[in-house]
Amino acid sequence: MPGTFIISLDCEGKWGIADRDNRIESGFITRSALIRAYESLLRVLSVYEASATFAFVMALTLTKNELDDWMPRLTDVHVEGVNWMRNFRRAEAAGYLGGWFCPEAFDLVRDSGLHEIGCHGFRHVPLGNCEVGSEEAGYELRSATELAKRKGVDLKTFVFPRNCVGHLGLLADQGYAGFRNAHPIVGRHGRLGNLAREFNIREVSQDPEPSASGLVSIPGGYFLNWRQGLRRVIPEAVTLMRWRSILIDAVANDRVALLYLHPHNLIDGPGTLELFEGVLRIASQLRESKSLAIVTQAEYCAGFVQGRANSHPRSNGTTQSAQPTPKEASALGSDAPGEAW
């Protein structure tokens, strides 16, 4: 079987920064800016005929007509002793909810007919936090499922807010097939460690993972460098060399490469879209050589893990960054590595 590439997009709007006062106050996320970001991502994905998983915070998808029914459902919740909804409450009081709701983004993805709509929670509450108990976690998951069903969407996979994995039993009760796991190494050394890792041009992909609580565990993968702040010092060529190594390793060792990104990263990260397209170009070339499959999270859950288990033994996770075979090098070319509502 070919290597596997999954594109996983965390669709959050302002819910993704609900607890970050300075980011909220900057006002960079607006409804119009979000729409442009989604249009750009969908355009690039269409060019390369690549399907992706758009995991939505379901509250972001609410329309004006749905707000009367759902506003009372957007209840306060405390995380680490602080009200997660405090900035939303301020916006609600001010009568400006731009960036908190963007049903147009959801419609763009659904109407494309090419991509999976996954779930990223109801209010983006980090469910793995030890202070978020089963009652609150259950409410978050049930609310997301109910809203999705009203929109005619059957949610198959879940992306945990902040990659904070927890309450898998409750997730299984909601009928999900799988979830995107957190990478076992990435994040252990904080932001500076993550920044340093971006220079690893011999990065490797991941092995398929055993199931958990009856759910397929989707390898967590890597965040595409968001060209903002200190991350802008990382040369684009280095990022593309890193992703080329990840993808070639997936091909050479029948492993999984997952790229994740927040669509709103395109708003304040100039050049991020071009990086995304560069990675897609590499993946597309490998797919054309029949050595890489580009799948959604739901497709991965439906068949790829079982197919791998039947075909190949898993490595011990210490595979060295692979050098391309002649077929892969040929496919890659000579630069292969050796507003208010």
Q: What is the CATH number of the domain that holds 112?
A: 3.20.20.370
pLDDT bin (cut points 50, 70, 90) of residue 44 is very high
pLDDT at 219 over 70: yes
- Residue 132 inside a domain? The answer is yes
Cβ atoms of residues 156 and 116 within 8 Å: yes
Please check whether residue 37 lies inside any domain of the structure. Answer: yes
Residue 71 is classified by DSSP as G
Average pLDDT, the chain: 88
Its pTM stands at 0.89
Nearest CA to 324 out of 219, 221, 241, 200 is that of 241
Does residue 23 sit within a domain? Answer: yes
- Please state whether beta strands 178-180 and 78-79 pair in parallel, antiparallel, or not at all (unpaired): unpaired
Residue 336: predicted pLDDT? 34
Domain that holds residue 105: 3-332
Name residue 313's amino acid.
Answer: P
Check residue 187 and give its pLDDT. Answer: 63
Bridge partners of 211?
Answer: none
DSSP string, 220-266: --EEPP--SGGGGGS-HHHHHHHHHHHHHHHHHHT-EEEEEE-GGGG
In a domain, 338, yes or no: no
Given a contact cutoff of 8 angstroms between Cβ atoms, the answer to whether 180 and 258 are in contact is: yes
Q: Is the dihedral of CA 318, 248, 298, 197 positive or negative?
A: positive
Gap between the Cα atoms of 183 and 283, Å rounded: 21
In a domain, 307, yes or no: yes
285 lies in some domain: yes
Q: Which residues contact 318 (CB under 8 A, 6 or more apart)?
A: none
Provide mean pLDDT across the span 233-237.
93
Q: How far apart are CA 149 and CA 209, in angstroms?
A: 29
In a domain, 341, yes or no: no
pLDDT tens for residues 83-104?
999 999 999 999 999 999 999 9
Torsion angle (degrees, nearest 10) of CA 218, 136, 125, 15? 130
Does residue 103 lie in a domain region? yes
Checking if the pLDDT of 61 tops 80, the result is yes
Domain count, the chain: 1
Confidence of residue 330 (pLDDT cuts 50, 70, 90): very low
